[in-house]
Structure 1
Amino acid sequence: MADGSDEAVFQQIVNSPGLRLFVLERDGVVVATTYLNVIPNISRSASPYAVIENVVVEESRRGTGLGRQIMAGTLQAAWDAGCYKAMLMTGSRDASTHAFYRACGFSADVKTAYLARPPRTKG
């Protein structure tokens, strides 16, 4: 962003314990990303859990294995951090997106996700 807010947010992510940004580059260009949040937990013998967000592969490179590669690294980082589970949500209704997540080891029939957003302010 021209106002520099993207750099400020990036620095906030980099400096936050438990948060990791994964990036795959090809020829100096970012082609895939994931974001891992390791969250401390009071149950499961205090084992943390992971939430994965911002799973993005450049559209022209989808289906080339880059997504599986970055997800494998992201999940391994979660397991290395002692996480007992890793979760993600997708807003996609695309069958290929769901097939991708299943191929990466995720199951859609274990939990139900709900999402709340702040109310819009009038103005």
Structure 2
Amino acid sequence: MIREAEDRDEEQLSKLYRMLVPNSKKMEVQKEQLRKIRNDPMNFIFVYEEDGELLGSLTLNICMQALHGERPYAIVENVIVHEDHRGKSIGQSLFRHVETYCNSIHCHRIMLLSKATRIRAHQFFEREGYDGQVSKGFKKYL
């Protein structure tokens, strides 16, 4: 089942995110932040839950713009599937959920960034229809 993350998911999300960024010293999942995101109509953390266990997650942010009339665009971040459950269509299910939602609100496009060394993730994104050759991503950490 795919649902929005709740503050009760703090511990399990932390474990999933640790698989995504194992050496991060800045990672900190907070119940209050999960609550704020859940109450914000433009931001979502979707989780894939099976038998009470979170097996995957991604973050979706809806961004307004002026370039395409009233059509927003979406950004997907923090895509992770539990390392013991990859290859079971969990990531694909999460992306289908996001695309269905984005179509329902007439998003112009969905964008995502991925660490340059995550080759298997890039292959997955390409299988899902995302083109890694269209743009070049830039980040500046603060």
So what's the TM-score if we normalise by structure 1?
0.87
Indicate whether 1:77 and 2:101 are aligned: yes
Q: Distance in 1 between matches of 2:89 and 2:60?
A: 19
Aligned residues: 117
Identity over the aligned pairs, expressed in percent?
24
- How much is the aligned-residue C-alpha RMSD, in angstroms? 1.9
Gaps of 5+ in 2: 1-9, 12-27
Larger-gyration structure (1/2): 1
Residues in 2 aligned to 1:42 and 1:50: alpha-carbon distance in whole angstroms: 14
Aligned partner of 1:40 among 64, 75, 86: 64
1:66-116 deviation per Cα after TM superposition (whole angstroms, max 9, x unaligned)? 111111111211121110100000115132211100011100011111101
Deviations 1:27-75 (A, max 9, x none): 1001011111111111112310000111110000011111111111112
Distance 2:54 2:111 in 1: 24
The letter for the 1-side match of 2:118 is: D
What is the aligned counterpart of 2:123 among 80, 92, 99? 99
Q: Separation in 2 of the partners of 1:67 and 1:56?
A: 8
Other structure's SS at 1:47 match: coil
Runs of 4+ in 1 over 4 A off after TM superposition: none
Q: C-alpha displacement at 1:17, in angstroms?
A: 2.2
TM-score (norm 2): 0.76
Distance 2:138 2:127 in 1: 23
Question: Which amino acid in the other structure matches residue 43 of structure 2?
Answer: L
1:115 has 2:120 as partner: no
1:121 is aligned to: none
- The runs of 5 or more residues in structure 1 that have no matched partner are 119-123
